[in-house]
Structure 1
């Protein structure tokens, strides 16, 4: 949803985007956790109805997840893909696997499968995940998130001083970008 939204906004605004790895629930066990256990009393159906409404304009079909995956390895694999020039391809595949197919992105074999589909070397990815070479990038992004007070994704940081949190409708993002541009011109 975020990528499709940004791509649409790029048709109207000069945007240079950089997608950063953000682990929202770093305490999630490696095997994941049932959403009902992690968030007792939360209304999963209402949340997914909202996500489906938000994703529809971008052709995104959200499945109904039951498990919150541990995303650390998936984010590390994303950094591997970025380093090898395949971030966009990998990002689309991992997003679809998790949010549409509701697969467990904490499973290394799934990450390897998706990386191969994106044109990446499976053995190199396995080695990178085993040695944790991308963990410092995740920690750096977490520090940056704390700096901006970010607690959710997607979060759009604009000109290093404005933060828009959550999946926003296209019209709201357009209005925010116009307002930011006007404020910056007035300075």
Structure 2
């Protein structure tokens, strides 16, 4: 049985981008599926952050850049100011997910923002990026302009905020374990292996306990 790892993230969270690499390494050659879950840190109409502000400058200097250097990942504080809202990008994610490219889309959005400094709040930019991963640009753009996936995205946010009780990103939900923040490949792999073993044991228990009986001809 495939183990699903749910990753709650926002496209303007640098630590969500940094979390990709160790996760990919941890699931290699394992029966694991990654599902990226939308989470808006600053949904409209809340003000988004400005890269020239003291808060982001300090966070990046003291936390993001040292971690990225240690992990060997290229990342830059995007000059897009103020930072974009991510609801349109996430509505596009629902379209991409429906067309079997959810994880590829998620990666493209993060790289576009944190390595190429593209404005992922702009429909034109989003449409171009969608086309780069093989999605139909006309259909994708129409979906965003008509807000076709607005309700689906709002339901995803409601789940994250109210049902899963997520308060920070990235957050990993691996089976019945919840890990908040960037985690090392070793930590993720250990947790994944434990959950895979637990699933396997549960399946075996179900196999040998449900519906077993003896008949008049023996067992």
Task: Determine the structure 1 residue equivalent to 2:77.
Answer: 64
Distance across 1 between alignment mates of 2:153 and 2:70: 27
Higher helix content, 1 or 2? 1
Aligned: 1:170 with 2:185: yes
**Structure 1 segment 34-183 matched on structure 2, within 5 A:** 34-35=50-51, 39=55, 42-53=58-69, 55-56=71-72, 60-66=73-79, 67=81, 68-146=83-161, 147-159=163-175, 161-180=176-195
Q: Relative to structure 1, is the Cα distance of residues 178 and 92 closer, same or farther in structure 2, using a 3 angstrom cutoff?
A: closer
SS across alignment from 1:145 = helix
SS across alignment from 1:25 = coil
| CA shift for structure 1 position 40 | 7.5
1:12-63 CA distance string (max 9 Å, x none) = 5432222222222213669x5414559478433113224414642xxx3111
Q: Relative to structure 1, is the Cα distance of residues 182 and 144 closer, same or farther in structure 2, using a 3 angstrom cutoff?
A: same
| CA shift for structure 1 position 119 | 1.4
Structure 2 unaligned segments of length 5 or more: list them. Answer: 1-17, 203-219
Q: Which has the larger radius of gyration?
A: 2
SS across alignment from 2:118 = coil
Q: Which has the higher contact order (CA 8 A, sep 6+)?
A: 2
8 A Cα contact 1:28 1:69, kept in partner: no
8 A Cα contact 1:156 1:165, kept in partner: yes
Q: Relative to structure 1, is the Cα distance of residues 149 and 101 closer, same or farther in structure 2, using a 3 angstrom cutoff?
A: same
Structure 1 unaligned segments of length 5 or more: list them. Answer: none
TM-score under structure 1 length normalisation = 0.79
Distance across 2 between alignment mates of 1:125 and 1:90: 12
TM-score under structure 2 length normalisation = 0.69
Aligned: 1:14 with 2:31: yes
| CA shift for structure 1 position 165 | 1.4
Distance across 2 between alignment mates of 1:179 and 1:130: 44
Distance across 1 between alignment mates of 2:116 and 2:85: 16
